[in-house]
Chain A
Amino acid sequence: MRLLKIVPDDIAIPFMRFRKLFMMISTAAVVLSLAMVFVKGMNFGIDFQGGILVEVRMPQAANLGQMRGQLGSLGLGEVSLQEFGHPSDVLIRIAAQEGDASAQQAAVTAVKDALGTGVDYRRVEFVGPKVSSELLLDGVLAVGMAIMAMLIYIWLRFEWQFGLGAVAALTHDVFLTLGIFSLLGLEFNLSTVAAVLTIAGYSINDTVVVFDRIREDLRKFKTKPIPELLNGSINATLSRTLMTSITTLVALLALFFLGGEVIRDFSFAMIFGVLVGTYSSICVASPLLLYTNVAARARSGGDASEEAAETP
């Protein structure tokens, strides 16, 4: 049986020749993403801004217009309705009510009374302002600390230039994910933070594989010009990079289409992250090494290990 090879054995794409283009694209994408986040803002779920969320299953296909009328007249402030994966499933979001916990309960009760009987309440969530600000802080802290911890790990295992390149790629991925969430108005909640952190992990994972090869090649080919060497390393690991991205994407696509409505945004974030992460480890992390003069130190000092001795 002929085996599938997603890239030919003798592939030699001159990635380094396009490095300026990649840099321009990535810089533009990051700037646009940040602009989206700051201008349009994030569509925070109740986890981060507080409020009430009720998922109901109506006895028959829901009439959103009619429901909007029923719920809008309750005086609960902003009420938003959204069909949720099924014509009879509706997601109701209500802004946090003035007053204490009993005011929130009263709002939920009012909704239940307005919708009448025969309705299945699949999910009721309420997050108070105190908790939502804590959750937001925890989320930001988690992402920030994860990036720091990875930076330190890469720095310990490689030279600092690699750490910088890896974290630049990872930050790039995180910003782009935030940007796409803002652009598409997808709900940003606790599980999105989980997705962002996983994307960070995946992105670093991908980058480390390429870096590992670069480090090995730096020791092996002491006289090769750096751009050429980087190209060689990227091409050598290209097949693996793509294979792993594909298997991960395949699993994530199954999750996106079949995993249910509740985790669809989560799956989307991961799919997007895997795509961007694959791009960034090839086109952002490695070209950055060129600018940080990685070769000088790695070649002169280079910690001698068994691979270093194994020059062909």
Chain B
Amino acid sequence: MVYFAKWKIVLVLVVCLLGVAYSAPNFLPKSITEGLPGWLPSQQVNLGLDLQGGSHLLLEVEVDEVVNQYLEGIAESARATLRTARIRPRALGVADQSVVVTIAKADEVEKARGLLAPIEPGAEVSVDGERITIEPREQMLLERRQSALQQSVEILRRRIDETGTREPTIQRQGDNRILVQVPGLKDPERLKAIIGKTAKLTFQLVDMENSVNEARERGRVPPGSVLLEATEEDRAVGRQDAYLVKRRVLVSGEDLVDAHQSFEQRTNQPVVSFRLNARGAKKFGDVTTKNVGRPFAIILDKKVISAPVIREPIITGSGQISGSFTVQSAQDLALLLRAGALPAPISILEERTVGASLGADSIAAGEIACIVGLIAVIVFMGIAYGKFGVMADVALIFNLLIILAVLSVIQATLTLPGIAGIVLTVGMAVDANVLIFERVREEVRAGRTPISAIDAGYSRALTTIIDANVTTLIAAILLYAFGSGPVRGFAVTLAIGIATSMFTAIMVTRLMVVAWLRRTRPQELPV
């Protein structure tokens, strides 16, 4: 035990040196680390959102909505097919992941089945009496759900990137969730507004033949029309608060190629200017030519932004959306239209936003607690174990540096509970040394020589140290597996701290103790 192989000495020294080198950037201001030559370590610890400020949002994509739309689409084609063939369905609708058609006349069932079979390739068509069920395969529904989630991630990324925030994290989680983490945010409310909107834009004609009041008060909405509310801004200022709109969509946001905020020339009001692709431009041209003098509604997520009257045919494919906009809200709408509509609505399941001031306070408090805790432990160990205590203290400082170095190199995220984990490690890291030193004391009392006492102390304490640390490691691993966000940060620092403290307490102090023994050849141990 007192013998120390050369390669082990080299290993210990190299690890300590690397610890110092890779933790060093954390003590330098960013301006210096960025100017360092490439071969020098320059990575700093990655601060969690709770320390640098920012928003953590867990979103749920209502993927079932996509499946629903898909089934509605099948139902619509079925209806059209039967209409062409002059077969009357008694009932036709979506029910539990399938489309169910009930044919009125029993002798038409076979014919209807033949017509309906090919409308959705891959769907299973079965007959039960007069009921025909069109059931798409589970795999097809699953693919639609997955692609909706994937598409949502991409669209959210486009939207968030356009707001100019730095380094957002946007990840899929599970079957229908998305985790968004945006550091250093000035206006979290705006972020949420931008994320939460489906941004489905449509142009539809206003139903002028029927009255809004009739539809609203008596619930008599004519077939082919739909009653939609105006935007909150409009309702707040007492403008028209609901519209009766034709169901048919003239042009939708999919045909949009560009949108940006601008000002209306006459009134100087903020508006959103848009440009349509060739297909959209043609459709819009046709419709506006036929409907001069009639209003059309501009609808975003089932709310009517405005319903301007068509003054002249618009054949260029360019136009303006006016409404109760501020410059900011017009910019946001333009951004949403550019990034595209989400395939399904999104809701916020969890939000954690930390302001930059709280984050900075937490870092400062954590640093102070860490330093004070460290000094107190150092002093206490010195008083309790003298020379050996000082050696344990040196090991403790290396331990902290190595933890910091590991965190920097693997770019783990340091959170506030993570800092707590480090402070706790400071207290617990000396445990291994305490175990060893207490054992050495006992062996000395049992009458052993210094060298043999130290030898016995280290070897006997070792199994205990490993057993004791493995159990804490188990707790850390489970914390990581089940924890979320900041708690995971705690698990990471705790686990790293356990590993590094075993190394420093066993190897680093032993190296020092052995070197000291060789140099002084003491007759008595100062423990």
Contacts and interface: CB of A to CB of B under 8 A. Distances in A.
A and B part of one assembly: yes
Interface string A240-260: 100110111111111101111
A159 to B, nearest CB: 14
Contact of B355 (A105, A123, A258, A270): A123
A101 B355 contact: no
A201 B490 CA distance: 14
A214 to B, nearest CB: 11
B194 to A, nearest CB: 13
A267 interface: yes
A147 to B, nearest CB: 9
Contact of B362 (A206, A260, A267): A260
Q: Which of B58, B441, B460, B474 neighbours the largest number of chain A CB atoms within 10 Å of its CB? A: B474
Contact of A240 (B351, B353, B428, B438): B438
Contacts of B475: 146, 150, 197-198, 200-201, 204
Interface string B32-63: 00000000000000000010000000101000
A194 interface: yes
Contacts of A141: 482
Contacts of B58: 131
A255 B474 contact: no
Interface residues of B, number: 81
Interface in B485-522: 485-487, 490-491, 494
A244 B431 contact: yes
A1 B482 contact: no
Contacts of A100: 347
Contacts of B467: 157, 208, 212
A6 B384 contact: yes
Interface in A269-312: 270, 307, 312
B60 to A, nearest CB: 8
The interface residues of chain A, by DSSP majority, are classed as: helix
Given A208-B467, A258-B365, A263-B417, A243 B438 contact: yes
B397 to A, nearest CB: 14
A138 interface: yes
Contact of A198 (B377, B424, B431, B481): B424
B100 interface: no
A123 B479 contact: no
B384 A240 contact: no
A5 B389 CA distance: 13
A101 B373 contact: no
A38 interface: no
A78 interface: no
Nearest to A109: B189
Nearest to A244: B431
Nearest to B431: A244
Interface in A93-125: 100-102, 104-105, 109, 120-125
Contacts of A252: 373, 423-424, 427
Contacts of A204: 468, 471-472, 475
Q: Which of A5, A205, A257, A307 neighbours the largest number of chain B CB atoms within 10 Å of its CB? A: A205
B1 interface: no
A131 B350 CA distance: 7
Given A101-B347, A141-B482, A250-B380, A260 B361 contact: yes
Contacts of A248: 424, 427-428, 431
A201 B476 contact: yes
B471 A128 contact: no
A3 B526 contact: yes
Nearest to A128: B349
B377 A124 contact: no
Q: Interface residues of A toward B: which range?
A: 35 or more
B478 interface: yes
Nearest to A6: B384
B21 interface: no
Contact of B383 (A4, A104, A270): A4
A232 to B, nearest CB: 12
Interface string A171-207: 0000000000000000000110110011011101110
Contacts of B431: 205, 244, 247-248
B188 interface: yes
Nearest to A166: B471
27 contacts: A1-B386, A3-B527, A101-B196, A105-B189, A153-B474, A194-B491, A197-B478, A198-B475, A205-B428, A206-B468, A212-B463, A212-B467, A239-B438, A243-B438, A244-B428, A244-B430, A247-B381, A250-B380, A250-B427, A254-B373, A255-B369, A255-B373, A260-B369, A263-B417, A266-B420, A270-B420, A270-B424
Interface of A: 1, 3-6, 9, 55, 57, 100-102, 104-105, 109, 120-128, 130-131, 135, 138-139, 141-142, 145-146, 149-150, 153-154, 157, 190-191, 193-194, 197-198, 200-202, 204-206, 208-209, 212-213, 216, 236-237, 239-240, 243-244, 246-255, 257-260, 262-263, 266-267, 270, 307, 312
User: Top 8 nearest A-B pairs by Cβ distance?
Assistant: A251-B427, A201-B475, A260-B365, A248-B427, A142-B482, A254-B373, A251-B373, A122-B358
Given A122-B355, A250-B376, 16 more contacts: A9-B441, A101-B348, A125-B353, A126-B351, A141-B482, A153-B470, A154-B471, A190-B484, A198-B475, A201-B474, A205-B468, A206-B468, A208-B467, A257-B369, A258-B369, A267-B420
